[in-house]
Structure 1
Amino acid sequence: MGKTLTITIVFEAGSLNYGEGFANISELKKFNRADGNIYSFASRQALRYDIVRLGNEWFDWNLDVVSKEKGTVQFKDEVTIEDSVEMDLFGYLKTGKKSLKRAAVVRLSHAVSLEPYNGDMEFLNNMGLAERNKLDPNLANIENHISLYTYTITIDLDKIGIDSNDNVTLSNEQRFERVQQFLEIVKLLSRHIRGRQENLAPLFIVGGVYPYANPLFQGRIQLKNGELQVNPLIEVMETTFAGSSVKGDTLIGIASGKFSNEQEFRSTFAENISTIEETFQVLINQVAQHYGVKQNATVKA
């Protein structure tokens, strides 16, 4: 039976993703929900962009894989997943006389805010530049929202490093290294936006390596009065599959001092809970065991 790694993450950040806007107003990307509230979000494409950016900066992921030879921006015909970690993790589509596609092996959800957006705006101008030449400044307004956000990652470990389109099969050491690098990036993920570098590093993480593919904790993270709700997670962990409980394979990592009911989590999930760092190290070790390789002390950069 195959193995799938799925983790749901909570982080805190502000104003992560803007839409097209109108006039001199920049609008956040956001949802309207049935509870009457509006929630901002960072799209999965935005998350992917910064994961790939950091993959290139930290681990030298090859980004020279794109062309516009066929009239549309797409991956080069001659490039395979052996050359590109990005194509391996996130899939590709190559059009032509014979179109080739490979579905994403790493699936990302949008990062959706857990706290509603209440219409906060920031007024901006370029007074500093305008005053140099005694000109009138340009004016702008941008929507602002600082919140806790949650998103989910699901990785089919058995499909990493394998592509039948080009008859590519990487070694288990290479497959493990790519997943390890991805998890190291997620652990310290950040986003560059409008002159800011927002920290997307997890404050809370729940998930593990399971013998079935399902984003188990997606949509189960709820926040009320500054408290992450325990009961929805208990209900998921009571689920069984083929006689095995979700709880037995689940890890929880939590940052100290962030959530007012932290002690409730520590007492309820005593056997499953640890620090964020320890949780990632256990996940990386489980991935190494799945591929049958020895875990490296350091990730190649």
Structure 2
Amino acid sequence: MNKKAKAITITYVTKASYASLNGSDKEADNISSIKKIRMTDGMEYPYCSSQAIRRALREQLAVLGFDLSEGVQGKQKKGAGTTKCEPQNYIDDDLFGFMNASESTVKRTSPVRVTSAIALNPYLGDMDFGTNYMSVKAGGNPNIFETEIHSGYYYGTILIELDRIGVKGNDGYELAISNEKKTKRVLGLVDAIQNLWTVGRQSRFLTDMSPKFVSAALLRVKNPIFMECIRLSEDLIIQEDILMNTTKDFENVILDHTLGERKGFFNKDNDNYVDIGESFQKIRQWVNEVYGE
């Protein structure tokens, strides 16, 4: 194993043309809000929570053929449900951690760190108008409702602690897997990231959340160096200068990096960015090299 490599950081950009990615508390009985954060410019920007992103990654791992740790009811009265807490057997318990406080507390801190996917464009008050006719046959009136919707670019970051995948954190559980199995699990996660698809609100608001741009680095420290470096120009092109400056600023800890975009997706292709598929292939190469026997 390459002892120098401690983490992979992946910052991605995607686009939602007509979306309601993550529900918030209702402002009124007939209005479904989306989660928003007010930035320093005074505007509100929608976001898809880190919890929702983690859930989406888990669900995509299941689609890719991995067995997930099923939820288990808490043993204590009113106790919170948990997973099976068996990272030896289940990829999601290994990658995303767990906590079981039913008897003695057993927990694993997630080696996969996830930010929310935050919009780069503010919320402008758009609403989707809907009517539920299900109650009409029962003699009721149509139920009219509204849903907040948004169109814009979103960015998020995922940091993978390579030296903690498949490694026990305390004595409360079993975890000792081969480098081959570590490779399989992290490659599965990379596939899930490349094919990111949220599971909530997809029946009426089907959204492609897969990355259209990615800036990633193999690091000998744990630092999401690209997390605050995504900017859009007025002509909706990802600004290159801050990304290039970041690679120079952190060249002493960067073992390798890649910048990739979906060619033809943005208003203008950047010759300094490779195809996004090539970027993900490089990330897979890092994983194979790090855990190679």
Task: Give the TM-score taking structure 1 as reference length.
Answer: 0.87
Q: CA deviation at 1:212?
A: 1.0
1:215 matched to 2:221? The reply is: no
Partner of 2:8: 5
CA distance in 2, matches of 1:208, 1:279: 10
What amino acid maps onto 1:215 in structure 2? P
Residue 112 (structure 1) aligned to one of 118, 134, 140: 118
**What is the 5 A alignment of 1:128-207?**
129=134, 132=137, 135-163=140-168, 164-165=170-171, 166-194=173-201, 195=203, 196-207=205-216
1:86 matched to 2:92? The reply is: yes
**Runs of at least 5 residues in structure 1 that lack an aligned partner in the other structure:** 294-301
1:277–1:2 CA distance, 2 compared to 1 (3 A): closer
CA distance in 2, matches of 1:131, 1:104: 48
**For the Cα contact (< 8 Å) 2:5–2:218, is it kept in 1?**
no
Task: Name the count of aligned residue pairs.
Answer: 281
**For the Cα contact (< 8 Å) 2:75–2:102, is it kept in 1?**
no
Partner SS state of residue 198, structure 2: strand
- Residues 159-191 of structure 1: CA distance to partner in whole angstroms, max 9, x if unpaired? 001114324211000001000001111111112
Partner of 1:296: none
**Runs of at least 5 residues in structure 2 that lack an aligned partner in the other structure:** none
Partner SS state of residue 153, structure 1: strand
1:131–1:282 CA distance, 2 compared to 1 (3 A): same
**For the Cα contact (< 8 Å) 2:14–2:213, is it kept in 1?**
yes
CA distance in 1, matches of 2:71, 2:124: 42
- Residues 216-254 of structure 1: CA distance to partner in whole angstroms, max 9, x if unpaired? 10011011321211221122111135xx364x6210110
1:280–1:134 CA distance, 2 compared to 1 (3 A): same
1:178–1:74 CA distance, 2 compared to 1 (3 A): same
1:135–1:106 CA distance, 2 compared to 1 (3 A): same
Partner SS state of residue 64, structure 2: helix
What amino acid maps onto 1:277 in structure 2? G
1:44 matched to 2:50? The reply is: yes
Task: Give the TM-score taking structure 2 as reference length.
Answer: 0.89
Q: CA deviation at 1:54?
A: 1.7
CA distance in 2, matches of 1:38, 1:57: 34
**For the Cα contact (< 8 Å) 2:86–2:174, is it kept in 1?**
no
Residue 254 (structure 1) aligned to one of 261, 275, 289: 261
**For the Cα contact (< 8 Å) 1:115–1:223, is it kept in 2?**
no
CA distance in 1, matches of 2:95, 2:188: 11
1:125 matched to 2:113? The reply is: no
**For the Cα contact (< 8 Å) 2:85–2:99, is it kept in 1?**
no
1:283 matched to 2:292? The reply is: no
Q: CA deviation at 1:143?
A: 0.6
1:135–1:168 CA distance, 2 compared to 1 (3 A): closer
Partner SS state of residue 250, structure 1: strand
Q: CA deviation at 1:192?
A: 2.9
**For the Cα contact (< 8 Å) 2:85–2:100, is it kept in 1?**
no
Partner SS state of residue 125, structure 1: strand
CA distance in 1, matches of 2:105, 2:200: 35
Tell me whether 129-138 or 91-100 shows the greater mean CA deviation.
129-138
1:274 matched to 2:274? The reply is: yes
CA distance in 2, matches of 1:245, 1:156: 15
Q: CA deviation at 1:73?
A: 2.6
What amino acid maps onto 1:210 in structure 2? L
CA distance in 2, matches of 1:290, 1:236: 23
Q: CA deviation at 1:260?
A: 2.2
1:230 matched to 2:244? The reply is: no
**For the Cα contact (< 8 Å) 1:11–1:150, is it kept in 2?**
yes
**For the Cα contact (< 8 Å) 1:227–1:260, is it kept in 2?**
yes
CA distance in 2, matches of 1:91, 1:69: 19
Larger helix proportion, structure 1 or 2? 1
Partner of 2:22: 17
* Identity %, equivalent residues: 28
Partner SS state of residue 249, structure 1: strand
